[in-house]
A and B are shown apart, each in its own frame.
Chain A
Amino acid sequence: MSLTSPGFLILLAAAAAVYYLAPKKLRWIVLLAAGLAFYCVGGGLAVLYVLFTALVVYVCGLALGRLNEKRRADGDRRLAARRWCVAAACLLNFGLLFFLKYWNFTAQLLSPLLGGRDLGVSGLLMPLGVSFFMFQSVGYVVDVYRDKVAPERNPLKLLLFVSFFPQMVQGPISRFGELAPQLLAERRFDADHVKYGLQQMMWGYMKKLIIADRAAVLVNTVMGDPWSHGGAVQALGVLFYCVQLYCDFSGGIDIAVGAARLFGIELAANFKRPLFSVSLADFWRRWHITLGAWMRDYVFYPISLSKPFARLGKAARRRFPGKLGKVIPTSLATFIVYLIIGVWHGANFRYIAFGFWNGAIITLSILLAPAFESWKSRLGVRETGPWRAFRMAHTAVIVFFGRYITRAPRLLTALWMVKELFVHPRFQELGAVGELGLGAGDLLIVAAGVLILVLVELFEEKRGDIRLWLEKRPPLIQWLAIALPLLAILCLGILRGSHISSDFIYKQF
């Protein structure tokens, strides 16, 4: 079930109404029922995967809880047993994830080695947002292992954490310690929650239905047949893809966060104005924040502080005295994390290359940081506005070229397209931009939408959350912040149907 479908809106409205009418003690059950209904309608039998994940992490969490209690009582560390629990949760969840997402790709790679035998499996039932709920669930087990949270003893309450419906399809990836107490809280109805929730949902729908779905038309036209266009039009297609991806993903997150807010639940932020990133590492701290934080806490830290990496660090310091020797292990761990993030997006060489692109640039920037600092001080460069603008521009260019990799039909086509940009740009083709699926009116709407988006984000970058600014305005203006976007969505997003409404991109991940 898509977050833009009437079915979702009906379910959300019904769930909110029943939630606030139900006795406070039973409200979490309403959320659980809504989540299961959402998943059954949207994914059918794939709900079994959700139940499987919830069961695995429930059992592992309980076992870890017992071992933690024993450790506290008699100092018994039982490290091996605790680690086995985490390993079991990881193996069962990521094993299933690997089978569902990567097995056919692996089978293709193995086929030549097996004399052409195809081990691929057809007709696999792919659950919605599988990576999201599995990552969130494994995070819970690790948090219990680290004794950060107590294990949930009620299996249905844990199932609610795994299946909270607004965030199931594309995140954000929540932490048990932050989300579970909110899901189970017995709270009163608060009109402000509804108002803030609707404001954020409208903002999300505007981004998705007015901008992203329009931009998608031009992107699909260009990327469907990049060979018919010169490098400049292909670059325009990638630029529109950057717009589409940001508005699609962040719009979907706004809808999810807003929908959760209707129940008084605050989900973690997943975006922090990535347009204003001053480096690729900064970009990844502002884009898909919850995935980055998950990778940091559950992959980067354990790798960086592991014994093999400690030994590598010592060897590197002996071999390369000074700063270089110190940063080699963390650089390697960083590279591994970005490679995993690339592969997380899907089973394809393009995503592996995407991980490599990000990992290589960030790793190099860590290794070369001392040299950059030295050049900066020699040239007298200071962290002023123009320097910051330059850094933002160069980050945007790096991100832009990274998008060639993920959106081109094939990896080699992406490389060819980059070459075409410099060798055969054919700028004159830009004059016929109106023939790429979007008329002048729609192009103008995309441009105006992007301008409004940039202005709002600029405001937020300088002065903080625009919602806090809105809060200080008269009630009429606050409700207009819901009504006007709704009108715009109806007029430009739904009724003006010159474009095809597309599904959320991150849903497939």
Chain B
Amino acid sequence: MKEKLIRILTEVCPGVDFAAETALIDDGILESLDIVAIVTELREAFDADIGVDDLLPENFNSADAMLALIERRQG
């Protein structure tokens, strides 16, 4: 699942090392447009009900955090 996530993230934001970065929001690597694009893709690819309330830095700072969010919002 993580590999699929990294693949999707890299497609949306090429050039970002999603496997290693742990402060994607705090360091300003991802911007609002990236976040919306990522959420749109994750909703579709993982059937995850991610909403505006989930748009917190701690949920998007790393691929692991996004993975945890997806798991919480699936089903």
With A and B bound together, what is the CA distance between A302 and B53 in angstroms?
Answer: 9
With A and B bound together, what is the CA distance between A366 and B37 in angstroms?
Answer: 12
Residues of chain A at interface, number, CB under 8 A: 20
Q: A interface vs B, CB < 8 Å? A: 146-148, 285, 296-297, 300-302, 304-305, 310, 313, 326-327, 329-330, 333-334, 366
State the majority secondary structure of interface residues on A.
helix
Option from B33, B35, B40, B51 in Cβ contact (under 8 Å) with A313? B40
Q: B interface vs A, CB < 8 Å? A: 31-33, 35-37, 39-40, 43, 50-53, 55-56
Given known pairs A296-B32, A301-B32, the reply for A310 and B52 (CB within 8 Å) is: no
> Are A304 and B53 in contact, CB atoms less than 8 angstroms apart?
no
Chain A proximity of B66: nearest CB distance (Å): 15
Given known pairs A300-B32, A310-B43, the reply for A326 and B51 (CB within 8 Å) is: no
> Which B residues are in CB contact (< 8 Å) with A334?
33
> Are B32 and A302 in contact, CB atoms less than 8 angstroms apart?
no
With A and B bound together, what is the CA distance between A297 and B57 in angstroms?
Answer: 12
Chain B proximity of A75: nearest CB distance (Å): 14
> Which B residues are in CB contact (< 8 Å) with A333?
36
> Are A301 and B36 in contact, CB atoms less than 8 angstroms apart?
yes
With A and B bound together, what is the CA distance between A333 and B39 in angstroms?
Answer: 15
Given known pairs A147-B53, A302-B52, A305-B52, the reply for A366 and B33 (CB within 8 Å) is: yes
> Are A330 and B37 in contact, CB atoms less than 8 angstroms apart?
yes
> Are A326 and B37 in contact, CB atoms less than 8 angstroms apart?
yes
A-B contact pairs, 23 of them (CB 8 A): A146-B53, A147-B53, A148-B56, A296-B32, A297-B55, A300-B32, A300-B36, A301-B32, A302-B52, A304-B36, A305-B36, A305-B39, A305-B40, A305-B50, A310-B40, A313-B40, A326-B37, A326-B40, A327-B37, A329-B40, A333-B36, A334-B33, A366-B33
> Which A residues are in CB contact (< 8 Å) with B33?
327, 330, 334, 366
Chain B proximity of A346: nearest CB distance (Å): 25
Output the nearest chain A residue to B35 by Cβ-Cβ distance.
Answer: A301
Given known pairs A296-B32, A301-B32, the reply for A146 and B52 (CB within 8 Å) is: yes
> Which B residues are in CB contact (< 8 Å) with A313?
40
> Which B residues are in CB contact (< 8 Å) with A326?
37, 40
